[in-house]
């Protein structure tokens, strides 16, 4: 899905940070999740997060990485069936909570379809991935409330403060 810039009150264009979530379809059998996750091991990307939706015969694994183009090529090469969705990655800190996100979005009449925490902690802060009925508008609402939205380039090794050797505050 391509992202269209959203008109802001000041007349400028706002384009939210881009994040692609891959929805990978797996047979619900022992070892399938492990095999999928191993596809990303040793690659030039960070597995930033995943979530599993399981049913009797199959599972859908939502995957977020720091390099969507490489992840797409890997999934195709290994012949995994998948679809893609645009999501928001929102940083959480003591002054910007998950409850605040919900409050601001419900006030703006934006529905959250789903949300899950990411594995990475850029700048040593928690991050949640979320899909909304209107991600561009949701991003604009959250940015206006001074939330930090992260792009895929901020979910991997080049994220500020993401190094394991980074000094803790």
Dig out the tokens for 97 from the structure: 């909570």
Distance CA 57, CA 12 (A): 48
State how far the Cα of 115 lies from the Cα of 10, in Å rounded to an integer. Answer: 30
Residue indicated by tokens 């090529």: 73
Going from the N-terminus, what domains does the chain have, and what CATH number goes with each? Answer: 20-85 (3.30.2130.10), 86-154 (3.30.2130.10)
pTM of the model: 0.82
pLDDT at 167: 38
- pLDDT tens for the chain, residues 1 to 169: 334 455 555 556 667 787 999 999 999 888 999 999 999 999 999 999 999 998 888 999 999 999 999 999 999 999 999 999 999 999 999 899 999 999 999 999 999 999 999 999 998 999 999 999 999 999 999 999 999 999 999 998 755 544 444 433 3
Gyration radius of the chain's alpha carbons: 17
Strands in 127-132's sheet, in edge-to-edge order, are: 112-117, 127-132, 88-91, 149-150
């Amino acid at each position: 899905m391509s992202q269209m810039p959203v008109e802001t009150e000041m007349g400028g264009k706002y384009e939210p940070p881009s994040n692609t979530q891959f929805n990978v379809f797996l047979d619900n059998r022992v070892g399938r999740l492990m095999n999928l996750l191993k596809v990303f091991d040793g690659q030039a990307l960070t597995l930033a997060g995943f979530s599993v939706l399981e049913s009797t015969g199959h599972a859908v694994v939502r995957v977020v990485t720091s390099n969507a183009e490489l992840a797409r090529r890997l999934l195709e090469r290994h012949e995994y069936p998948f679809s893609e969705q645009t999501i928001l990655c929102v940083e959480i800190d003591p002054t910007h909570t998950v409850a605040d996100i919900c409050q601001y979005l419900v006030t703006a009449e934006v529905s959250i379809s789903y949300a899950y925490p990411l594995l990475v902690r850029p700048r040593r802060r928690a991050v949640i991935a979320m899909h909304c009925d209107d991600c561009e508008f949701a991003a604009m609402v959250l940015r206006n409330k001074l939330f930090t939205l992260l792009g895929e380039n901020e979910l991997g090794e080049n994220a500020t403060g993401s190094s394991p050797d980074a000094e803790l505050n």
